[in-house]
Amino acid sequence: MTQRPSLFSPCQIGRFHLSHRERAGPSSVYRYCPRSVGILTSFPFLFVVCLGRRVVLAPVTRCRAIDGIPLPAHVEYYTQRATDGGFLISEGTVISPTGAGFPRCPGIYTREQIDAWKKVVDAVHAKGSIIFCQLWHVGRASNQIYQPGGTAVPISSTDKPVSGRWKILMPDGKYGSFARPRRLAISEIPVIVQHYRQAALNAIEAGFDGVEIHGAHGYLIDQFLKDGINDRTDAYGGSLQNRCRFLMEVTRAVTSAVGPERVAVRLSPAIDHLDAYDSDPRRLGLTVIEQLNALQRESGERLAYLHVTQPRYVAYGQTESGLQGSAEEESQMMRALREAYNGSFMCSGGFTQELAVAAVEQGDADLVSFGRLFISNPDLVERFKLGARLNRYVRATFYTADPVVGYTDYPFLGQQQRARL
């Protein structure tokens, strides 16, 4: 009788070149592991690499960089959360000077940024973990203060601004208004696609094992996908095929540059963050998946994984009372997406250990990413294994500039146990 997978069982998600094997040394990352049991047991990553478990650090914005450059604190933060056989996804990393919409976000478009990220990646690899870089452009979810010269207008699929329902975090820690964006001309879109391609190449140069294209949560790619935002009448608007065009052009450009096995895509078809509504999110998700499957067939290679945020995702500025959709609606839609996608499937969005165990054991996900729980529990994997109590996160420190408080000072389980003696 075949055992059901769990959070600790093997999981394979593509094909992978072990470029850092010699630096990292022996690790469960490099063993081939067929699918078996446990959410905290291993998962064969990219056809030949075995992740030590199905628990993933989600890409969570932390606002600690200076001038877009990761700091020594970033090295500590990521290595705290790295484990032998683990898998981390970086915070959203800006692909170009026009892509920022948060204070102190890192980028991957200058030599200084690449070199700084290399220090992070090397330290993570030394602990035996794999790390992907999330490629991010916020589009209209910005303000002139974050744009080149502090005066440029943010770009988008539309010229409609984010509504007053939402506020943008400003450099002084207060909340302000989003700027009215400028609609991209068709002639400008290939330039943005090239920015994604170059950012992917830069990430690989920095040593990242792959990249995740951020196509979710109301940011630039999502602004093309969702009909609640995209009001274009050209080849990038109107029909579902047209609204998917920008995402697919970006994905093709990135996969051609670094290889499909090093590329993942993140989607959130049912999330209305930053007014990113769609009239038929299920159909949108299935249409994107159909096109990603076709891309995989054309190349003969699978993407690394598809990462989908569930409707219970809670955005910054929201509370748990604002969760979207019923549990049954959520599970039906996610199961349909899971069944449609030909490849490894990662879920995120307010998961507890119990919910993650259920998702993996029921076959609804191959991997589960955790954001807030990983923020406050750098040793989350160990706590899950032991059934230990979790640290509570402090939301007020999520986006502050302090390189220690709320960033690298959450206690490890061993520290707490010694303190009780």
- pLDDT tens for each residue of 221-258: 999 999 999 999 999 999 999 999 999 999 999 999 99
- pLDDT tens for each residue of 102-127: 999 999 999 999 999 999 999 999 99
Q: In angstroms, rounded to a whole number, what is the distance separating the alpha carbons of residues 217 and 69?
A: 24
Of 10, 86, 16, 12, whose CA–CA distance to 263 is shortest? 16
- Residue with the two structure tokens 């699918």: 35
Per-residue pLDDT, 68: 98
Q: In angstroms, rounded to a whole number, what is the distance separating the alpha carbons of residues 135 and 312?
A: 23
Secondary structure element (H or E) that encloses residue 334, with its range = helix 327-340
Whether the predicted pLDDT of 274 surpasses 80? yes
Per-residue pLDDT, 328: 72
Per-residue pLDDT, 7: 72
Structure tokens belonging to residue 342: 């030909």
Whether the predicted pLDDT of 396 surpasses 60? yes
- pLDDT tens for each residue of 373-387: 999 999 999 999 999
Pick the CATH number of 54-344 from 1.10.565.10, 1.10.357.10, 3.20.20.70, 3.30.70.2860: 3.20.20.70
* pLDDT confidence tier of residue 214, bands split at 50, 70 and 90: very high
- Amino acid of residue 212: E
Q: Which of 77, 219, 305, 399 is catalytic?
A: 219
Residue 305 is among the residues annotated as catalytic for this protein: no
* pLDDT confidence tier of residue 19, bands split at 50, 70 and 90: very low
Q: Where are the domains of the chain?
A: 54-344
- pLDDT tens for each residue of 1-13: 456 676 766 666 5
- pLDDT tens for each residue of 307-326: 999 976 544 444 443 444 56
Query: What is Dmax (Cα atoms) for the chain?
Result: 68
* pTM of the shown model: 0.90
Whether the predicted pLDDT of 148 surpasses 70? yes
DSSP string, 227-263: TTT----STTSSSHHHHTHHHHHHHHHHHHHH-GGGE
Q: For 297-303, what is the mean pLDDT?
A: 95
Q: Radius of gyration over alpha carbons of the chain, in Å? A: 20
